[in-house]
Chains A and B, each alone.
Chain A
Amino acid sequence: MQEDIYATNRQVTLLDILDRVLNKGVVISGDIIISVADIDLVYVGLRVLLSSVETMERKGDASREKSLIP
């Protein structure tokens, strides 16, 4: 469990964590480096769904909510 991070009256959720650790910090692109940053976070009622860009494209743009960082 996540004991390092404090949250008011609740557990730190996967959404909280992904909200921070994806598409932020040092984001590196380039062919010598691999990153899973090329994925989108999809928020449905404050729950997170995560898909690769490819999966998202299959679902279509209409239902798409981009990650927190434009």
Chain B
Amino acid sequence: MADNFLYTYCIVRRLPGEEVTDRYPDLVFIEAGGVRVVAKYVPPDEYSEENRKLRLADEEWLDRNAREHLSVIAMVMECQPVIPFNFGTIFRTRNSLADFLADYAQRLEETLNGLEEREEWAVKAYCDEALLNEHLHLGSPAIAAIEKEIAEASPGRAYLLRKKKTELLARELESIHATLAKAIVDALLPLSEQHVLNRLIPAEGSGEDVRMLVNGAFLVGSDRVGAFLRVTENLAGRYRETGVTLDVTGPWPPYDFVDIPI
């Protein structure tokens, strides 16, 4: 074992129960600085520089291991708060891990306290651009006015007006996106303790006219999760006809609410 590396999953206060160790018998628990790390020993060559690159390109390996990383953490966090490690974080020795825990003991304790009885939920909102465009054409007085002008204009002037209309549409779409995104986030804020708005993932190349409006992570008190989910359902219902869909997932390990720069 001495030469093996330690692959780490998460930091906790208490030893996980038998339901975790029965399912994942390879887990070990490294204690230092008042906390414990859920980890497993891995042969060094499995994560050598060279092998890591090969493995990451192997979707089957990646899928299996990323899911296992998540499953272990998710199971542990059913009973206590966790500080999740990034997928693929490996310590060379038990001592290096213990040093890390000791150095950051206070920070880790504070973070664990802040995560007590709280869950991370992810909310992504998308809009169907074609449908939204259609609504714009039907609903915007400015667009209606310019279309009327185009119909009555000479070919040269109509060309310029059409360009103007395209710009106007783009501006109105942007403003609608921003308004929708704000409305969705604002509706969720009263039910969450903290939130993070992550970068929007571009839909380029998907072949579908779908655009991401919100990529949010919300830290929700465990006793308010039901209410939080009901709000997402209400939002989905309210905006369905506008072409907006909500994608809600959780509870995730609190990846977005752990800030330990090392």
Query: B-facing mask of A13-32, CB < 8 A → 1, else 0?
Result: 01011111111111111101
Whole-angstrom CA separation of A7 from B74 in the bound complex: 14
Please state if A35 and B66 are interface contacts (CB–CB under 8 Å). Answer: no
Please state if A8 and B246 are interface contacts (CB–CB under 8 Å). Answer: yes
* Cβ contact of B70, chosen from A4, A68, A70, cutoff 8 A: A4
Across the interface, which residues of B come within 8 angstroms of A26, CB to CB?
11, 83-86, 89, 258, 260, 262
Closest to B208 in A: A45
Across the interface, which residues of A come within 8 angstroms of B130, CB to CB?
none
Across the interface, which residues of A come within 8 angstroms of B247, CB to CB?
7-8
Of the candidate stretches B144-152, B168-176, B185-193, B248-256, the one touching chain A is B248-256
CB-contacts of B73-115 with A (<8 A) = 74-75, 83-93, 96, 100
CB-contacts of A32-70 with B (<8 A) = 32-37, 39, 43-47, 50-52, 54-55, 65, 68-70
Q: Count how many chain B residues have C-beta atoms less than 8 Å from C-beta atoms of the other chain.
A: 57
From A25, A46, A50, A55, name the one whose CB has the most chain B CB atoms within 10 angstroms.
A25
Number of A-B contacts (CB under 8 A): 156
Whole-angstrom CA separation of A17 from B255 in the bound complex: 11
> In the complex, what's the smallest C-beta–C-beta distance from A52 to chain B, in angstroms?
5
Across the interface, which residues of B come within 8 angstroms of A30, CB to CB?
262
Whole-angstrom CA separation of A31 from B242 in the bound complex: 51
Across the interface, which residues of A come within 8 angstroms of B62, CB to CB?
14, 18, 50
Please state if B203 and A52 are interface contacts (CB–CB under 8 Å). Answer: no
Across the interface, which residues of A come within 8 angstroms of B253, CB to CB?
20-21, 25
The 6 tightest CB contacts between A and B, nearest first, are A45-B206, A36-B88, A4-B74, A21-B87, A24-B255, A25-B84
